[in-house]
Each structure stands twice: as C-alpha cells, then as structure tokens.
C-alpha cells in the first residue's frame, strides 16, 4: 500500500498547493503527511494506513486504523468549532434515521490553520449524474434528507449558505478556495455580477421556513452501488435554508463530478427535470413564491460557479479552462429568468 507522503506528492504534482500552504504553512508532502499521521496516531492509537488523499474546499484523507476505516477532513473555508460541532450533532442524528450517513467519530479540533474532524468511511461509487434513474434517486433522497432534518430540533450553529447573504453585504463571500481571486479578476465579469445582484435582490424579497439541507448535493459528493444511494459525503455542506433554495441549488449541480472534464454540469432541461422529479416525490406542487425562490437560488449558484471559473480563466489556470467555459455557457443559456416556467 502506498505511503501517505506518496499520495500527497501525487496530488500536488498535478495540482496547486495553495490550500496546503494555508493550512499547514508548507507545500512539502513529507511535512503534510507526517502531521496528518501524527494526529491520527495520537487520537486513535494506531498508525494510519492511507487509502486516499484529496483536496478541494478542505483536505480529505481516507485511512485504515487497525480494523476501522475512517475519513479525516481538515476544514478551512467557513470552518469554526461551533459550526462543525453543530454539523456533527446533526450528522449523528441523521445517521440514526436509516439514512446512508457516516457516523462522526472525533472532533472538531483545531489542526494547523484549519479544523479537523474524523468520521467513519462508507464506500460507494460515483455514477453518471445524467442518467435519468440516478437523477430521480438524487431528487428522492434529497427530499428524504430534508424530511428527516425537520425532526431535528437543535439546529443552533448550523448557519445559512454563504450565498444567502444580507442584501447590504458585499456581493461575493470569500471564495471557497484560495485559488480564486474575485477582486483581481473583476474585469469582464460585470455581466455575471449583475445577474448575481438580481438573484440576491429576488431572494431577499422572499421568506419561508428554514430547514436542514445538503447545500452541495451532487453525484461527486454521493456514493452509489448501481443506482442505489449508499453514502452521503461532504457534511460541512450541511446548513439551513428554505426547501426551495436547497432544491434550486441542487438543480444547478446534481449531475456534477469535478473529476470529469467540464464537471458534468446539467443542461437546462435536466435542471428542470430535477425540480419536477423532486416535486413528484414531495407530492405537493411548489407555489409561486417557492418557484421564484428555486429560480433565484439556481441563478445565484450558477453565477458563483461562473465567477469562480472566470477567475480561473483570467488567472490562466489552464487545467480549468474547459470548466470555466461550461459554467459561463450554462449561465448565458439560462439567463436571469430561465429555469422554471411560471
């Protein structure tokens, strides 16, 4: 089995080390691997056998500790002890409700410049999010997750989505990765910002009950066996929003798997079909205000994706140019009012 330093080196050979430098103060794979190994050995009493190493919004390590397989995540963006404690509390309650939710095992605990958590590893395959049956499963399981979340009463500390900001706040939150620089790449992005402001104003005029939802609901964050959902990952994406906001956001990304060229973003027709699938499972039609919220949430999520990838394009991160164009193309296609027919 490969050593952790080898897995870290392989990832950083192909991708930037900006996140590692933010968290660990270095991009040296040996130092990074040793800090992670030391953390797990100190808190679990066993030297980890690595299974995988990944980085995106945070750093994710799969490891075997004696007979137990775990996932350690070092959270960085919007990471706080209070928010992650609330997340783990919700995660534990949902894991007891016959949902494929990994049980939290440790943390949160400050680690480097981030916050570390450890949970059980549940295996699953990434599937094709454009498959119609997979799309229906995604809609059904999101509805089931939201329904289960309504039974949880202690939701203090979860917080709202970063994009659901007060209208008086700056348009964009701090980007989820240090690779994106919105201020330095503002030229040429004015049309994206205008659409985002429109979505923000529309959302600010709406109301609704806040519920627990997964705010990055897509095949890349889910595990399957065949077309059956076996695992829900990325629990730092749990937060509070209206059901309509959650559905509109999920419609923008449900088919996405960033390991594939272009990210496998959905088409406009697929986004509409996802909303229809969800409504069928819900067994209650969305009213006019909910439809407006779905559309505005969908728009602001896509504008954020386009803005991130415009930054990549402007800063000449050549590996993501195709992804930049796919987000921007999707945004041009859907426009300001382009998802749900009234």
Q: Structural domain boundaries of the chain? A: 4-120, 132-334
What are the mean pLDDT values of the chain's consecutive 10-residue runs (342 residues total)?
A: 89 91 95 97 94 94 95 93 95 95 96 96 94 97 97 90 80 90 94 95 92 96 94 95 97 90 85 97 94 96 94 70 73 84 48
For residue 9, what are the CA distances in angstroms to 30, 84, 339? 8, 28, 42
What are the tens digits of pLDDT across the range 274-319? Answer: 999 999 999 899 999 999 999 999 999 999 999 999 998 888 755 4
Distance CA 117, CA 296 (A): 33
Q: Which CATH class is domain 4-120?
A: alpha beta
CB 299 within 8 A of CB 307: no
pTM for this model (two decimals): 0.93
What are the tens digits of pLDDT across the range 216-242? Answer: 999 999 999 988 999 999 999 999 999
CATH superfamily of 132-334: Aminoglycoside phosphotransferase (APH), C-terminal lobe (3.90.1200.10)
CA dihedral 328, 333, 334, 340 (to 10 degrees): -150
Please state, as a whole number, how many other Cβ atoms lie within 10 Å of the Cβ of residue 109. Answer: 13
Of 178, 254, 197, which Cα lies nearest the Cα of 18? 178
The residue whose two tokens read 């949880």 is 152
């Amino acid at each position: 089995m490969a050593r952790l330093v080898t897995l870290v080196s392989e990832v950083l050979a192909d991708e930037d080390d900006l996140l590692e430098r933010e968290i660990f103060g270095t991009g040296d794979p040996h130092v990074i691997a040793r800090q992670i190994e030391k953390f797990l050995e100190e808190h679990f009493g066993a030297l980890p056998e690595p299974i995988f190493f990944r980085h995106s919004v945070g750093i994710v390590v799969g490891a075997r500790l004696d007979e137990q397989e775990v996932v350690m995540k070092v959270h960085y963006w919007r990471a706080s002890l209070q928010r992650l404690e609330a997340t783990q509390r919700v995660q534990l309650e949902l894991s007891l409700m016959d949902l494929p939710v990994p049980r939290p095992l440790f943390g949160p605990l400050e680690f480097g410049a981030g916050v570390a958590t450890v949970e059980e590893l549940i295996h699953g395959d990434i599937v094709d999010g454009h498959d119609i049956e997979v799309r229906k499963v995604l809609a059904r399981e999101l509805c089931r997750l939201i329904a289960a979340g309504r039974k949880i009463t202690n939701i203090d500390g979860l917080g709202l989505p970063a994009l659901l900001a007060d209208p008086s706040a700056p348009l964009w939150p701090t980007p989820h990765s240090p690779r994106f620089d919105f201020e330095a790449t503002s030229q040429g992005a004015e049309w994206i910002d205008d659409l985002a402001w429109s979505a923000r104003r529309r959302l600010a005029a709406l109301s609704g009950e806040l519920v627990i939802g997964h705010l990055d609901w897509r095949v890349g964050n889910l595990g399957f066996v065949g077309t059956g959902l076996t695992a829900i990952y990325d629990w730092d994406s749990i937060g509070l929003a209206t059901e309509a906001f959650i559905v509109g956001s999920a419609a923008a990304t449900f088919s996405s798997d960033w390991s594939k060229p272009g990210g496998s973003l959905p088409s406009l027709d697929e986004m509409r079909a996802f909303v229809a699938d969800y409504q069928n499972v819900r067994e209650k039609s969305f009213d006019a205000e909910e439809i407006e919220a779905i559309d505005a949430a969908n728009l602001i999520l896509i504008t954020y994706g386009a803005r991130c990838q415009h930054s990549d394009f402007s800063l000449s991160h050549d590996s993501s140019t195709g992804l930049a164009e796919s987000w921007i193309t999707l945004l041009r296609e859907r426009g300001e009012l382009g998802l749900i027919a009234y």
